[in-house]
Structures are given as C-alpha cells and as structure tokens.
Structure 1
Amino acid sequence: MPFTFLFAEVDVTSPFPQYAYLGFDYDPLDYYFIPGLRRPWNDGYLTPVFFERGVLLYYNNHPDYSVKLTSFSSGNIYHQGKPMFSWGFGLNRGGLLFMWLGDLAEDFTAEKERDRKRFLASNVASDHDLVSKFYRSQLPQTPEEAFQESDNEVKVFDLKNQFDERIRRDFGLEISKIDIDRLTDYYRPPILEDRDQIFNAYLSLTKYLLETLQTENLKKALIARGVLESALKGLGSLKLLELFVKTVLGLPGEKTIMTPLYVLYDLRILQGHLAIDSFAAKYDSCKDRLQADRNLSDLSFFQVVVQALIQCFTTLLGYPVPQTMGSG
C-alpha cells in the first residue's frame, strides 16, 4: 500500500511499471531515500539495480569483450572496442556492481537480449550502498567530483606514459620498448577475490612497467654520466632504472621511491610459486614493505600495491629539471 514520503504518496506495490519488462529486482525506496536520485521528469530512472560482481568474469575472459575499470569503483564493458553501456557501472564498498534502471532500459536493446539475461541471472537485492566514484561522478556536487581522476591501474599507466614522455623530451632517451597504451588494451584487471586472478594481474603489471624498459638505453645514459660499464654488468631492468633515477634524475631517497616496483617484481616471482611452503612468509614481507596490514585480503592488498605504484610514478615524474638537456 502507499506510504507517505515528504508529504507525497508513493505506491511501492507497483513501482516504475515502465521498466517492468526488464525483469530486474530492485528496491524502489533507494530512489526516494538516497540523495540525488529523484527526477520528477523521469520517474524511477536513477533507481540503482545491483548485481553480483562475478557477472564481469564472462566479459573479462571472452575474446570479443573486455572489462575496463576506470577506477576501483567504476568501469564499463567493451565489445570489440565499443562501450557496451552508455554510462558504465559502479562498484560499491560491498563488492556489488550497480547500474541505473533507466540506463539498463536504454542499453539492453533487443540485440542485447542475451546480455540482459546474463545480468538478470546475477541480479541481487539492493544493499543500499552507492558510495563509489561512479555515483559521485554521475551526480557531482563539485567540479572535482564531476571530473575525477582514476585511482587504479589506469592512473598507473597514465603516469608511466607521462614519465616516459618527459624522459624523451628532457634527455632524448627512449626508455620503453613500446607505447604502454597498446599493451593495456590486453590488460585484464582482477575481478573477484581470487588469488590466481590477482597474481596474474601482478604478472601483467610487471611486463608493462618493467619488462618493456630499454635496458641498453639506460646503460648508455649511465655510462655517459660516468658510471663504469663494468658496474652495470649483470644488472636487470629494475636495478638499472634505480641507478638511472639516482644518477641521472638526481632524486633523493631512491630506495624508498622504488620500493613499490621491487614489491611488484617480488609478487610477480611469487605468482609462479603460489603453492610453495615459503609463500606466506614472502607474501607477508611484501605487505610489510608497503606498511600494509598482513590480514588484508588479496584484493585489498592489490589496491594498496596499485596506490603505491601511483605514488612511485608521481614522484618519478616530479624529478628536478635537468641543468643540461640531451642524452649527454
């Protein structure tokens, strides 16, 4: 029966009949109680509909689809490079995916009936939590909320590209073998609290951030600044980058700066040894070095690692302006 909300009659026994054909379960009270959702000119459009996050697995592993998480709490699905949803989706603090009821009506056209049924099978009851970058960007209260920066791997890739470009501009030096934008088209973010998914993501991040380094160019730049060639023998890409940061870029405290990259490399090594007896101790060591709680879940620690990488490349990108330009 109807109830009174702000002196208006709301019939919750037959909410938003224009969307009934979709078949989704939702709580109409969310629309009336959660700030910013009511739209008298388009009643019910911004009603959140919730889904199990696992629905993304199909698309993340299908060759014709990809899942792009623009932050830890927002993203979209792409089909052959084109967005599947006009406005994407949110990921709330409880790990549920949510979208607006009106958007679902517009995006699930007849051609996407299979996708609608797939989402319908993953539809769950509302937990009434919309806290996410998606929610704040869709209903912004400030310009900063409307144009939010990413807080996940997308930000890492962007900063890495900016760093490579600045080195190219300041020193005429190519330090990466390939534009990381091309590689990230194939990057598969971890979707669930699943150790294999998460450690495979560490493997991919290591490939993109470290294994693409032009070690020979780094060596040439170091030798040009007085480092003996004999001192560079046997050094891998990460050690060479660390020496480059200290000798060429002149950044102080380089070990602290580089710690996230060393932790990432060690996690990549652990990726191939998930079942060994020493795994737990080595994994704890990685958490300790980033000052993270050892009891964090794998997915929560993954977010810590990514945040640390963002800080790492932000610091690297801010190196002092060199007094002399060119490759030396």
Structure 2
Amino acid sequence: MENIEEYFDDKGRKLHLVYGQLSEKFIREDIGIILDGIPYLINEDTRETYLTPFGRVLIEKLVGEAKTKGIRELTISPPKHFTGQRFKFCDDLPFKYSALEYFSIPGLAREFSNDGFLVPIYFNIEVLNKYSQNPDYELHLMSSTYGNLYFKDEWSISFGVNRNKSVIMWLGDIDKLPKKEQFYLLSENIEPDYEVHSEFYEGQICVQWAEGSLESKVFELRENLSELILDKFGSKLFKLDGEISKVLSNLQKPVFWQDKHVAPVIEALNRIFVESLCEKNIKEIIKNESPETGIKGLRGLKLLTVLLNDVLEIENSAEIMCPFFVLYDYRVVMCHLQSEESVNEKMDSIFYRLHISDNDKHHETVYMSIFEFMKDSLSRVIEHIGEKANKGQQRTAKPIT
C-alpha cells in the first residue's frame, strides 16, 4: 500500500475514503499490518489503495514500537482520542461529525492548523430550501457542486454538494453564523458521508476554481449576467423557482449516458437556465425600455429573446438564444412520453442546431455541446452589455479643455 499526500492519484483521478478492515495484509519494515477501522484511500476504478498522511504517521509510530518489542504482526485500529474528538467550534451544539475523517482526508488538517476549522459537516440537501424560498436570503450557484449563501449584508457561507447529494459546510464557517442559523443547520445535520469531493473542495482546498469545469464557467456566466441586468435595470434576470433540493439533487454530470441517467440532469438544467427566468422582471424591463414592443402571450425564452433584440439591441439574438431553446426541447424529449416518430424528429432538430455530425449523435455529445453553446451565448451577451456601457460613458464624458 503506497503513501499519498493528496486526495487524487498521480494521474489526477479522484480517490475516496474507505473505513473498515483492509482484508489484504501489507508489509512495513518486515512487519505484517492489517488496518482495522483506519481510513485509507482507494481508486474505485483501479482498486489501488493508498495510506492517508494520518495513516502513515500512525503506522510509522506503531511499527517503531513493535520493532522494539519484537512483534512481527500488527492489527492497527484508530486511537480512541481521535475517534471521539470534539473541536472548539460550535462546541455547545451536538453537530454530527468525524474527527477521524477530518484528519484522514488530505488538505483538511494541516501541520500548523489542525484546530478542526475544516471539519466537514453534512446535511440533507433539503437544507437549501429555506435559502431559495425566503427573499431575505440569496443562493448563488457557481457550479453544480459549489455555491454561496447570503443573508442581507450580515453574513455569508460557502457550501458544496457531493456525489451522494449531501450538502457540505465547514465546521469553522458554521461557527461564525448567528445561533439561530446554527440551530436550523443542526436540524438538517446528518451522519458523515466521508466524501467531500466537489468543486467546493477543489476551490477551497486545492485553489482550483480558476481551472473549473465547463459547467462551472457557464454557471458563473449565468450569475454574472443576472447581476449585470440587475445593475442596469434594477431587476434580476434569474430566480430559482421551486425546491432547490430537487434541482441540485439531479444536477451533477452523468456518469452513465443511458436515458434514465441523463433525463434527471436535463430536467434540473432546464429549471436552472429556462424555468428560472423571472418573467415578471423581464416584462417590466421591456415595458419600461421598449414600450412599443408587443409581448402579449410571450413567456420564458421568447421573452428573453425580445429583451436581447429590442432592449439590448443585440444582433443575431435568435442565434444567441439557440442553445437555451435546444435545452428546452431536449428536456421535452427526455422527460415527456411521446411517439418514436416525434422523438426522432426532435432529436434530428437538436443535432442539426448543435452542428453534431452523424458519428457523434449520442447524449454525451449533446450535453457537452449545449454547455459549449451556452457559454458562448452568455459570454456574447455579457460582452455586448459591457461595450454598450463603455460607449455610454464615452458619450457622457465631458471634453477636456
């Protein structure tokens, strides 16, 4: 069993924390070792196993003691003072967490900072419902597994969503929240998942946000555009309707590309990019900025098209809107019962609009193409707004005399 200092192997593949007895005995300095409850990391694809920094230090210590006593075999279990350790943060509330997990997942406990600030606390994903439905709070998604919560100008906290669809926050961050908020979080606290892999972990621990995934960049552009519209017109472009837990629970990129795995993801994406359009705000902006424009009977994407074309005066607005209409149509194909003829007709249209060749007509290509096109469209709108703002400033600037 090799030692490792990271939460990824040397090829950048994710490793996952495992508890329980390691059935395979391994050798350290001629002493046979079995781990009984000592966490270790595993590559789930190759089945290769690795010792965490915590496991390595503990084994080195016990092997040294065993050698002096002439012991040839060891079964190593977690020391009790690690398994039940509590930290100073939120020490008056019974949050469920594992000190052993904290010491075992690379990047959390550090040589000069192992006070428990980065202890992962896990929650039911429904914990986010409160923050999406109460107007006093704001929930910003920077990616499918990373976001921020805000309460007015008083506090904010970051969170992640792991592959088990549990929400993760750091114990030290929770400690900074008002007591009322801590009690609410406690009511949704669940037993540790021992799984913090997410863009939340990568951004906060690995400092990899700048190299985020395509999906992350699109989510960030969505937030940026909504903020620009708010600054320009006093109204946000997007909202998060419905229960946020139902959206996020199906938002992670599919691992398998059969219909049953893809459909929930597309349904969630449609909610985020299509159903979340704030029609009331868009109508008000159009009425104020272009009162002669007829919008009776228009909804959602068609309203947004009018906003781009008649208010923002963006050329090729239909082309810019294309990936969002494709996403909507893709959702209809994946989530609605219809004839095979109708499905084939809609999919042919989707392939055509995304410029997908005959050799690439499968779900993964459609998924990635939608994100590529949305990234381009959102970037073009943001760039256009920026250019118009700059021109407006130049026109109003007083000449230098």
- Tell me the equivalent position of 2:115: 43
The reply to whether residue 91 of structure 1 matches residue 161 of structure 2 is yes
For 1:261, what is the secondary structure of its paired residue?
Answer: helix
Partner of 1:24, secondary structure, is: coil
Alignment: residue pair count: 275
CA separation of 1:313/1:17 partners in 2, compared to 1, >3 Å: closer, same or farther? closer
Does 1 or 2 have the higher relative contact order (CA < 8 Å, sep 6+)?
Answer: 1
Partner of 2:324: 261
Q: Map 1:116-127; keep pairs closer than 5 Å.
A: 116-127=182-193
Q: Is the 8 A contact 2:143 2:216 kept in 1?
A: yes
Q: CA deviation at 1:23?
A: 0.9
Counterpart residue number, 1:128: 194
Aligned to 1:33: 104
In structure 1, C-alpha distance between the alignment counterparts of 2:126 and 2:215, rounded to whole Å: 25
- In 1, distance between residues paired with 2:117 and 2:206? 17
Conserved 8 A contact 1:22-1:105: no
Q: 1:90 to 1:304 in 2, by over 3 A?
A: farther
**CA deviation profile, 1:269-326 (whole Å, cap 9, x unmatched):** x7xxx98968x9599758766679669xxxxx7x98666422323356679x9xxx99
User: Cα distance, 1:37 vs. partner?
Assistant: 0.7
Contact kept in structure 2, 1:67 and 1:188, CA below 8 Å: no
Which of the residues 69, 74, 80 maps onto 2:146? 74
Matched, 1:192 2:245: yes
User: What is the one-letter code of the residue matched to 1:27?
Assistant: S
User: Contact 2:147–2:158 at 8 Å: present in 1 too?
Assistant: yes
Aligned counterparts of 1:305 and 1:151: Cα–Cα separation in 2: 13
Whole-angstrom CA distance in 1 between matches of 2:96 and 2:337? 44
Contact 1:151 1:307 in 2 (8 A): no
Instruction: Give TM-score, length-normalised by structure 1.
Output: 0.59
SS for the counterpart of 2:176 is helix
- The question of 1:6 aligning with 2:56 is answered yes
- Contact 1:47 1:101 (C-alpha < 8 Å) held by counterparts: yes
Structure 1 spans left out of the alignment, 5+ residues: 163-175, 221-234, 296-300
Aligned pair in 2 of structure 1 residues 22, 180: CA closer, same or farther (>3 Å)?
Answer: farther
Cα distance 1:45–1:206, how it changes in 2: closer, same or farther (>3 A)?
closer
CA drift of 1:26 comes to 1.6
User: Percent identity, aligned pairs only?
Assistant: 25
Report the Cα offset of residue 69 of structure 1: 1.9
Q: What stretches of structure 2 of length at least 5 have no aligned partner?
A: 1-35, 39-53, 62-78, 248-263, 294-301, 393-401
2:175 to 105, 122, 136: 105
Are the equivalent residues in 2 in contact too, given 1:67–1:189 (CA < 8 A)?
Answer: no
AA of the residue aligned to 1:6: R
Q: CA RMSD in A?
A: 5.3
Say if 1:283 and 1:70 are closer, same or farther in 2 by CA, change over 3 A.
Answer: farther
| Conserved 8 A contact 2:84-2:98 | no
Cα deviation, residue 182, structure 1:
2.8
User: Residues 237 and 18 from structure 1, CA distance in 2 versus in 1: closer, same or farther, beyond 3 angstroms?
Assistant: closer
